[in-house]
Structure 1
Amino acid sequence: MSLLRNRTRSASSLLTALVAATALVAVGATPAAADPASHQLWGDQTPAHSVADFDTDALNLSTVFTVDVPGTITAIRFYKADGNERAAGDRWVAVNPTATPSLGANEFLSPEEETDYGWQTVALSYPFDVEPGVEYTVTYTAFGGVYAYTYDYFTDGPLTVGPLTAHNSTYRYIYRYDGNGDQITGTWRDSSYWVDPVFVPAA
Structure 2
Amino acid sequence: MIGRLRGILASKSPPWLVIDVGGVGYELEAPMSTFYDLPDLGREVALFTHYAQKEDSVSLYGFLREGERRLFRDVQKVSGIGAKIALAILSGVPVDEFARLVQAGDVAALTKIPGVGKKTAERIVVELRDRVGDFGGAAPGLTGLPGDPQSEATVALQQLGYKPAEAARMARDAAKAGDDAAAIIRKALQSALR
Same fold (TM over 0.5): no
Structure with higher strand content:
1
Of structures 1 and 2, the one scoring higher in RCO (CA 8 A, sep 6+) is: 1
The TM-score normalised by the length of structure 2 is 0.22
User: 1 or 2, which has the higher helix percentage?
Assistant: 2
Which protein has the larger Cα radius of gyration, Structure 1 or Structure 2? 1
Provide the TM-score with structure 1 as the length reference. 0.21
